[in-house]
Amino acid sequence: MTRPPVGGGEMPGRIADVRWHAMSGFALVGVIAVIAGGLVAAATGPTGFTHGSWVAAYLVLVAGVSQVGLGVGQALLAAVPPSGRRRAWQLVVYNAANTAVLLGTLISSVAVVVAGGALLLLALALFLAAVRHPRTHSWHLAIYRLLLAILGVSVPVGIVLSALRQS
């Protein structure tokens, strides 16, 4: 038995495969970040790692959960899932930003935190642009945009807090 075509002659399974492929890299890296955050949290107390709780929270919330939300959100919400090239840029920029913020915090360099923040804003702009033409205007889209807004507002707040901590 064959499935009926859906818009443009594509089979429903093919559409699901394309959307899954569009989110899988973000889901994988995000889950790894959540696990790493859990490991950092577990090691913080016994080792006396002073930035441990902040690093764990950042890994779980920003590098992990938010990355999964952004990757899955754009894959499901965009009328056409982002191209492989766009997704590669998003993955590289978003994770380079997170690495810079984490590194800058650990070495007490506000300049590195600022560079990471700037990269994070660039990554958020790439995610926002990817869903410029959504398939739906449901509450899912509102949540996706709210996640982008929360992250966008948290960048300057985090930079200011980093600068205050160093002064």
- Band (pLDDT 50/70/90 cuts) for residue 14 is low
pLDDT more than 90, % of the chain: 84
CB atoms within 10 A of CB 141: 16
Which has more pLDDT, 5 or 16? 16
- 8 Å CB contact between 98 and 47: no
User: What pTM did the predictor assign?
Assistant: 0.88
DSSP three-state, residue 48: coil
Amino acid code (one letter) for 22: A
As a whole number of angstroms, the distance between CA 60 and CA 27 comes to 13
- Region 110-121: mean pLDDT is 98
- 8 Å CB contact between 113 and 159: yes
- 8 Å CB contact between 73 and 140: yes
**Rg over CA atoms, the chain:** 18
pLDDT digits (tens, 9 = 90+) for 34-76: 999 999 999 999 999 999 999 999 999 999 999 999 999 999 9
